[in-house]
Homo-oligomer: A and B are copies of this chain.
Amino acid sequence: MLPYTNFTTYLQEKAGLTDNDITQLPYLPALKRFRKGQSLVNSGPVCKDIFFVEKGLLRQYTIDEQGKEPIIHFAPEGWIVSDRSSAYFNQASEYVIDAIEDSEVVMMNEAFINAASELSKTFRENNHRALHNHVRQLQKRIVQLLSATAEARYLAFLARYPNLCLRVPQWMIASYLGITPESLSRVRKDLARKGFK
């Protein structure tokens, strides 16, 4: 049995590889464990890998001029995170990816992606589709940041990442929303007062 059930399911159901395809892959990517707080990649070097979260929870963030750490993404089990444009343009990554919980991560490198792409048209197409979907999510987030209040953005976070609000420290959610931890605390208090949940 393979050491990663979520990843296998992903290859079959999301990425569109058949069982036969999988046996024909030259190798399967390694599973690595990361402790809470540990970094998978730092900003600086080129980020070559694509990470599939088998178990646990990752975050991706950058460090801006004022030393703030705005969070781009959270990635719980079954999600993927990477800085593909860093690999693509062979440029230094501006993002850090680290573990919010003890995590198990499947490290897909370019070679694996290429091999799977050679093998299966569906895999290629799904990859492309995922990229388009990513663009759409990013645009939605921009629209939201342009026009929605802190409260609306928090509610959107809850909808986008169900069951994550208890696993992610509040100060990180605040950073994802572009507000301070104090403000988020007040937003939540207000929602509670209004009888939310």
Contacts and interface: CB of A to CB of B under 8 A. Distances in A.
A147 B131 CA distance: 25
Interface residues of A, number: 30
Contacts of A129: 88-89
Interface in A137-159: 138-139, 141-143, 145-148
Contacts of A141: 142
Interface stretch (A19-27, A48-56, A63-71, A163-171): A63-71
Identical copies of this chain, number: 2
Per DSSP, are chain A's interface residues mostly helix, strand or loop, or mixed? helix
Interface in A35-92: 62, 64, 66, 68, 70-72, 84-85, 88-89
Interface in A105-136: 129, 131-136
Interface of A: 62, 64, 66, 68, 70-72, 84-85, 88-89, 129, 131-136, 138-139, 141-143, 145-148, 175-176, 178
Please provide the 6 A-B residue pairs with the shortest distance between their CB atoms, ordered closest to farther: A70-B146, A146-B178, A145-B145, A138-B138, A85-B136, A88-B132
